[in-house]
Amino acid sequence: MTTTTTATATATAPVLPPLHIGRHVIESPVVLAPMAGITNRAFRLLCREYGAAGLEAGGASGASSLYVAEMVTSRALVERTPETMRLISHGPEETPRSVQLYSVDPATAGLAARMLVTEDLADHIDLNFGCPVPKVTRKGGGAALPWKTDLFRGIVSAVVREASRHDVPVTVKMRVGIDAEHVTYLDAGRIAEAEGAAAVALHGRTAAQAYSGQADWEAIARLKEAVTSVPVLGNGDIWSAEDALEMVRRTGCDGVVVGRGCLGRPWLFTDLAAAFAGSDARVRPGLREVTSVLRRHAEYLVDFYDGDELRGCRDIRKHIAWYLKGFPAGSTVRNQLALVDSLAALDDLIGSMDLDAPWPGEPAEGPRGRAGSPRVVALPENWLRGRELDEAQRAQVAQAELSVSGG
């Protein structure tokens, strides 16, 4: 893999020490956020390749970052649905293997964790308490769940209990709360720490914000003050390596979680690894390299779908606009790329572009992915009436894992 970097690459002392997640030592304190439909094995492989290049640029070695697979539901995992088993598949080069679980039921969560560790399917388990999607929150899951402290405690405890028997660390990813009036992150952070979580990650937005507005980095700083025995990771509005360094400076967090910032830009992991190693080396690819990465991504997707070229090409379509952000590709080519149905067709379209176009600079930087807009969070009936489940809510969340897809 070749990368185009800025001319200077001056290495100094590392900005942060390696990140310790249980028994795992992550040389660069960076985590790829699990993103539905994005962080499958194909995309993780690209990010991993670029992360390793960043460590090399910074003069370090080891596990470049932690790359987490997209969320799967505990129920679907226990039932071994074929798509769920595909989503938790890892390549031989993936160490440690990270899986994110969604659950609203301690018993099912525990069974899923037991399956992962006894069958050697994961080296790290992350728990999703941050998803703001209405189909999740209206069932009491994701970012809505920490409001019910006993339920939250029960899920974390059950998964930690099962995973710890095989020395597999468990981490928790969450949001600030449901909305500005129903903030949960400090309570949740302390509970997760007390129940044996190996780290906690905070996206500095509420569920009501979705991905709109600005992430509240001050909340990350407050969580770092409240949780003292395990790493605290910050998430939200990291679009560049410089953003990551600034978050660490302002919050004191032990590492960062990167989601939308790497969409169509897996080389961000080169920049991040180099930056945290104290190097100013940065990747600035021209269109030839960007389309080469796009083509390789499509190839990896075809492999992920067991050689199904049409399915792999359909999957790559959502990434096209992200890869080409800021480049003079033209609307006709962009529209044709969004309909690509074979690798040969992809090659033809790439060949029709001006591949000598340089990195466009500012137009290619900054936010990517849908921001959405603030909204009223969909919740189970009377969810906000108290911090404990009533009988009706208990029955409702018992059904939730049966009706939430995504793994």
Angle subtended at Cα 105 by Cα 103 and Cα 111, rounded to the nearest 5 degrees: 80
- Kindly report the backbone phi and psi dihedral angles of residue 372, in degrees, each rounded to the nearest multiple of 5, phi listed first: 70, -170
* DSSP assigned state of 93: T
Handedness of CA 120, 122, 127, 130 (dihedral sign): negative
Given a contact cutoff of 8 angstroms between Cβ atoms, the answer to whether 28 and 257 are in contact is: no
Give the end-to-end CA distance of the chain in Å, rounded to a whole number. Answer: 31
User: Cα separation of 206 and 180, whole Å?
Assistant: 7
Angle subtended at Cα 215 by Cα 44 and Cα 198, rounded to the nearest 5 degrees: 55
Given a contact cutoff of 8 angstroms between Cβ atoms, the answer to whether 115 and 94 are in contact is: no
Choosing from 47, 131, 253, 262, which is the catalytic residue? 131
Return contacts of 379-387, CB within 8 angstroms, 24+ apart.
379/137, 379/138, 379/140, 379/144, 379/178, 380/138, 380/139, 380/140, 380/144, 383/140, 383/144, 383/147, 383/148, 384/147, 384/178, 384/182, 387/147, 387/148, 387/149, 387/150
Tally the C-alpha atoms within 13 A of residue 282's C-alpha that lie toward its C-beta. 11
Q: Which of 208, 156, 149 is nearest to 379 (CA)?
A: 208
- Where do runs of H (alpha helix) occur along 196-286? 217-226, 241-251, 268-276
Given a contact cutoff of 8 angstroms between Cβ atoms, the answer to whether 302 and 343 are in contact is: yes
Q: Is 262 a catalytic residue?
A: no
* DSSP assigned state of 260: G
Name, in order, each residue with C-beta under 8 angstroms of 394's C-beta and a sequence gap of 6 or more. none
Q: Mind telling me the catalytic residues?
A: 131
